[in-house]
Amino acid sequence: MATSSRSSRATPRQAPDYSDPAYWHGTIKMSLSKFFVLSVLHRAPMHGYEVVQAVARTTNGCCSPSEGTVYPVLNEFEAGGYLSSTAEVVRGRERKVYALTAKGRRAFQVAVDAWLEATDCIVASKLVADPTSARKRRR
């Protein structure tokens, strides 16, 4: 029986610094990107770069995904039947314009409900973590 020359020990991955706001902002940004792509497309069909700009505007820069993030999300949503696309000429260039399908509109509503539920839990956690803020609000 042959033995493996590779070590069975994997190099441990360094744990993130959970006290660093950048970690949490990055996590939130990644999680909310898909939500806000659905959100802006719920308002109107648009091409990919418009989606990037609309998400940044809608979130006041809190969630500003790059084109490299948005296009894979658009492709994933389209493959899943949440979006449809058409080729249109915009300012002399052919662009793929995305629109929510009925399935995409339902998914957006489910996402809104899920994020609202999570937000309620976050607010409740804030009150537990900082009970003085709850007393200040009651005054």
Model confidence pLDDT, tens digit, residues 4-38? 555 557 778 888 898 999 888 888 887 888 999 99
Q: What pLDDT is recorded for position 136?
A: 58
Model confidence pLDDT, tens digit, residues 61-111? 888 888 898 999 999 999 999 999 999 987 898 999 999 999 999 999 999
Indicate whether this model's pTM tops 0.85: no
Residue 7 lies in a domain: no
Residue 17 lies in a domain: no
Residue 34 lies in a domain: yes
Residue 122 lies in a domain: yes
Here the CATH number for the domain that contains residue 50 is 1.10.10.10
Residue 51 half-sphere exposure, CB side, CA atoms within 13 Å? 31
Look up the domain containing 93 and give its range: 22-138
Residue 92 lies in a domain: yes
Alpha-helix runs per DSSP H in 59-130: 67-79, 102-129
Residue 64 lies in a domain: yes
Quote the number of domains for the chain: 1
